Amino acid sequence: MIDGKKVLFSGMQATGNLTLGNYLGALKNWVTLSEEYECFYSVVDMHSITIRQDPAELRRRARNLLILYMAAGLDPTKNCIYYQSHVSTHAELAWILKCFTYMGELNRMTQFKDKSAKHADNINAGLFTYPVLMAADILLYQADVVPVGIDQMQHLELTRNIAERFNNLYGDVFTVPEAYIGKVGAKIMSLQDPSKKMSKSDENPNGSIYLMDDPDTIMRKCKRAVTDSEGVIAYRDEQPGLKNLIDIYSACTGKTPQETVAEFEGKGYGELKPAVGEAVISILKPLQDEVARLTKEKAYIDSVIKANAEKAYYVSSKTLRKVQKKVGFPERIR
Ligand code: ATP
Ligand code: LTN
């Protein structure tokens, strides 16, 4: 608890261009949750270098992501928005937690298997211990809840196991976090292959709507979205492309899928698709304008980065000191 509020931690990697899936499935929920919780939202740049990155590009993307957090509506005076690499406690706790994590546990992580298959020329130790750094992120802030996608559930379960193991040995040091899986926009699918999730690393750019796509591109991608030959507007698993469009429209307009179906009843896909395009443009355009405005406020952004890194350090170092004491590190001489 911080100031009587439960604590929330989440983070995103600054790799690739963010998609509408990232926004509807994660960022938008973060903004809603920020009213109820004391929130820490990190740009997890230390995780990013588990895959080889171009340094200048990583730096640029990381700053853009931080600005995007704010443009989406996260107030940086109420939410701690910061770069993971600016707060040294993350690396320090991760080391200690690695000594409480078993090789067998990490060997079971499906993300490691997927990523090492994809990057066979660079299967580095960081990629293997990635989930322990994630556990450190969460446990440092004594987070009660962690909004994540279903793909991160295995990492969260590992985090809970590490926390419980440590607590069993040393007493109640860590809060054992719960996952928070949002309902609306939980899984936005590719516009070109509705069996796959919309993803920033998709090779086909037409499958994803990027947050920075211009209106014409958004409209074109929506109009070209893969549907089916049934021609009837309904919300059902047998029509996955259509279901996805209904989900996107509903998430953007705040309607339920049933309300959307009722709105388009008796109409064709030819009417639904441009309406989806308009709905997406109506939420992305203001977001893009705000990103452009904030990007110009260099001194202000810098001050946010500095102040929030200090806050994150202050909160997280309390947990770190406790842990260091528990494991038997010598006390510091002041
Ligand atoms: P990558 O393609 O590099 O694996 P990604 O687009 O899947 O990336 P992540 O960085 O893994 O995105 O996820 C960031 C956040 O966005 C997570 O909370 C994740 O659950 C959410 N998210 C990603 N894609 C979608 C999607 N298609 N629908 C809903 N939420 C999503
Ligand atoms: N692994 C996550 C990003 C991430 C994260 C975290 C999410 C790193 N640390 C802590 C929640 C809490 C991902 O790739 N989506």
The pLDDT of residue 184: 58
Q: Is 44 in the pocket of ligand 2 (CB under 6 A)?
A: yes
- Class of the 205-293 domain? mainly alpha
User: Is 80 in a helix, a strand, or coil?
Assistant: strand
- Name the CATH superfamily for 6-180+298-327: HUPs (3.40.50.620)
Nearest to 309 by CA among 43, 13, 30: 43
Distance, CA of 112 to CA of 130 (rounded, Å):
8
Probe residue for ligand 1, chosen from 199, 247, 280 as the CB with the greatest number of ligand atoms within 8 Å? 199
Distance 326 CA to ligand 1 centre (A): 36
Structure tokens at 6: 């439960």
Going by CA atoms, what residue is nearest to atom 15 of ligand 2? 12
Are 18 and 213 in contact, with CB atoms under 8 Å apart? Answer: no
Active site residues: 115, 197, 200
Distance 49 CA to ligand 2 centre (A): 14
| Domain map (residue ranges) of the chain | 6-180+298-327, 205-293
Total count of residues recorded for the chain: 334
Q: Is 137 in the pocket of ligand 2 (CB under 6 A)?
A: yes
Probe residue for ligand 2, chosen from 7, 8, 10, 87 as the CB with the greatest number of ligand atoms within 8 Å? 10
Q: Which atom of ligand 2 is the closest one to the Cα of 44? A: 8
Q: Is 138 in the pocket of ligand 2 (CB under 6 A)?
A: yes
Q: Which ligand is nearest to the CA of 43?
A: 2
- Those residues of the chain that have pLDDT short of 70 are 183-186
Q: Which ligand is nearest to the CA of 155?
A: 2
Are 237 and 194 in contact, with CB atoms under 8 Å apart? Answer: no
Distance, CA of 28 to CA of 35 (rounded, Å):
12
The pLDDT of residue 1: 84
Q: Is 152 in the pocket of ligand 2 (CB under 6 A)?
A: yes
